Amino acid sequence: MKNTAFTEKHIALGAKMALFAGYNMPISYSGINDEHATVRNNAGVFDVSHMGEFILKGDKALDLIQRVTSNDASKLTNGKAQYSCLPNNDGGIIDDLLVYCIEENNVYMLVVNASNIEKDWNWISAFNTQQVPMYNISDKTCLLAVQGPNATKILQPLTDIDILNMKYYTFAKGTFAGVENVLISATGYTGAGGVEIYFEDINDNANKIWNTIFEVGTPQGIKPIGLGARDTLRLEMGYCLYGNDIDDTTNPLEAGLGWVTKFNKNFTAKHIIEQVKAEGIKRKLIGFEMIDRGIPRHDYLIKDALGNIIGKVTSGTQAPSLGKAIGLGYVTTNFSALDTEIFIDIRNTLIKAKVVKFPFA
């Protein structure tokens, strides 16, 4: 089991720890509901240093990225990032990721899911026929996500980067908490606003940055937040979680990711995904809220009023911001329209729900 640079701090703070993607990670500190509310209403700090980061360099780097990702990375200019997917040969999703343009047509950073670091590296490497210099910097890169409506206001005094006016999905490098060469991006996985902070784990940088954030932020109500609240926050926004809502068997169009699937370029399994688009998808990822009492869980069956199986739950929870149970799941397209009545099979009992639009919050 791996540790991040902050593991001992989590333990010292009394966090409930658990194995996640091979790392000893904090699940909660004060409780998921309290931490969820902190991020929605103020600001919280997530240690997400378990995520993977790859650097691709050289004049062939963009070409490689274009061939292995679904989105059009040629649209990126310096300081911009985009959400994308790595399609497999069958049109499924190897992973979802962020692509950062550090230096246009020359240097890019890919940020991938922790559980897929080795798989993604091997997949991209297999397409690297032009010997693009690739560097896996995951083990030496720290990543803190400071999320919430007050996050940038709290952090602005710590940096020379204008994060208060940073546009969504842009980033800049500068000094943060006295540490140089820190990359700060207006991205995140909560829908609550804020930034993500990337820096190298050298010269006690992790300790300096963590301590400075909490010295300044604690009087303003900032708190450490675990992965439990990260999951409830992303689910309220309808954001997909790899391994739950998308995986190697999921077509991006089924998952509502047509907006990051661009057919104006060649990429892995483009023809398969195009064919699915032409023929029409047979199932669709929907958001739903429970009408009757019950909490949907991953892999629960979704049925119609007669008890016929029409799909499966991929994620579900009692949404702290809403006071109701919500979920994501795939259903056959004829049951995907808004307000359609569906039923979740919870311990052999059909519990009524309805299809709703997301974000839920």
Q: What is the Cα–Cα distance from 223 to 221, expressed in whole angstroms? A: 6
In a domain, 207, yes or no: yes
Q: What is the Cα–Cα distance from 225 to 45, expressed in whole angstroms? A: 5
Query: Do 220 and 307 share a domain, yes or no?
Result: no
In a domain, 255, yes or no: no
CATH number at residue 18: 3.30.1360.120
Smallest CA-to-CA distance from 311 within 340, 289, 333, 341 is with: 333
Query: Do 205 and 291 share a domain, yes or no?
Result: no
Residues 6+ apart with CB under 8 A from 158: 176, 177, 212, 213, 216
Residue at which a domain ends, from 206, 236, 266: 236
Q: What is the DSSP string of 161-228?
A: S--TTPPTTBEEEEEETTEEEEEEES--SSSS-EEEEEEES-TTHHHHHHHHHHHHHGGGT-EEE-HH
What is the pLDDT at residue 100?
Answer: 98
Residues 6+ apart with CB under 8 A from 162: 156, 172
In a domain, 264, yes or no: no
In a domain, 266, yes or no: no
Query: Do 360 and 302 share a domain, yes or no?
Result: yes
In a domain, 194, yes or no: yes
Identify the H or E element spanning 83. Answer: strand 81-87
What is the pLDDT at residue 120?
Answer: 98
Query: Do 229 and 144 share a domain, yes or no?
Result: yes
Q: What is the DSSP string of 88-101?
A: -TTS-EEEEEEEEE
In a domain, 180, yes or no: yes
Query: Do 190 and 315 share a domain, yes or no?
Result: no
Residue at which a domain ends, from 205, 236, 267: 236
CATH number at residue 359: 2.40.30.110
In a domain, 116, yes or no: no
Mean pLDDT by 10 residues, the chain (361 residues): 97 97 97 98 98 98 98 98 98 98 98 98 98 98 98 98 98 98 98 98 96 98 98 98 97 98 97 97 98 97 98 98 97 98 98 96 81
Question: What amino acid occupies position 353?
Answer: A
Query: Do 324 and 211 share a domain, yes or no?
Result: no
Query: Do 321 and 222 share a domain, yes or no?
Result: no
Query: Do 31 and 153 share a domain, yes or no?
Result: yes
Q: What is the DSSP string of 244-272?
A: TTB-TT--TTTTT-GGG--TTS--TTHHH
The answer, as to whether pTM is greater than 0.85, is yes
Query: Can you give the residue range of the structural domain that contains 16?
Result: 7-49+139-236
Query: Into how many domains does the chain fold?
Result: 2
Structure tokens belonging to residue 343: 């039923």
What is the pLDDT at residue 361?
Answer: 81
